Structure 1
Amino acid sequence: MADYDGGARYGAARRPGVNAARLWASGLATAVVAALLAVVGILIARGVVEVAVLAPKGEGVWGNANTFTYAMLSALAALLATGMMHLLILAVAAPRQFFTWIMVLMTLIAVVLPLTLTVEIGGKIATAVINLAIGLAITIVLNTVAASARTVRAGRPNDAPTRQWDQPPDNY
């Protein structure tokens, strides 16, 4: 017999689960968003602010093959983050909290890293801002999606029903 929340009766252990199709479809959509954010960031930096990001100024607003590579790496980062979220949902007690901390720290690394390079200061700042936008977008979108992709499954009962002293055994 099932109780009101769909679990097995008599104290079934509740295990975390994930709707993998929903999570990974959302992760793929997040990858597209991250790639497009990279392209938009480069277009703004190179076309509006006129800062050479990832390519010399002579390459034009679209830059060169590095623009495509940067966009694909941004998409890959979103897919890796989706995999991490999937594992966290299955393994830890507060997956969204751990995911947020991990992603904020990784985004911070991605923001600080370009500032240590020996290139023009405008390029450093533009790359740091683009990395910040991509990191925050991935973090926020996947954290929101994880709430709807997380499920709870009933596991094996963790304790058997108790018998009263005056009840006969089941085999009679």
Structure 2
Amino acid sequence: MSGPEDAIRLSNESWVKVDPLDLDMREYSWHLDRSGYAARGGSGQRIMHRIIMARVLKRALRPGEYVDHENNVKTDNRRSNLRVVTTQQNNWNKSKAPSAKWKYIGINFDSRLKTRPWRAYIRVNSIGYYIGTFTSAEEAAWMHDQWALVLHGEFAQLNFEYEKVATR
């Protein structure tokens, strides 16, 4: 087999990263499902990242437990990239939709607001909260990030990368 040592080949010739402990799954035929996850089987298909997490936990996933890709890369099924989350935490960590109108998440433009046309907002428990208006998209996106970090913690989906500051 040619290709990455730490990966499993899919039927479309792409690859899924896994840890050495999970390379035994190469014996199965895998494909990308409609959502972009590595899966095997037909209508009762099995999703690779859920199988790996069940191995980590040494038990089946319970109803209401979801497996999240921390880096939002659906083909990165390394154990260090997977975590069990609630529905809400999983939604917090969703990437911006490719069809989104703006470059940043949590903002929109209101042409009626002449001096500060960029609005920032955030959703918590399915409720949208208005953060404020700003002169630039970047400023609104930054403010969204500050609120997301406080409200969503490690599950916050951010517009910018920030340096982690060590705390004592």
- TM-score, length-normalised on structure 2? 0.27
- Which has a greater percent of strand? 2
Radius of gyration: which is bigger? 1
- Which has a greater percent of helix? 1
- TM-score, length-normalised on structure 1? 0.27
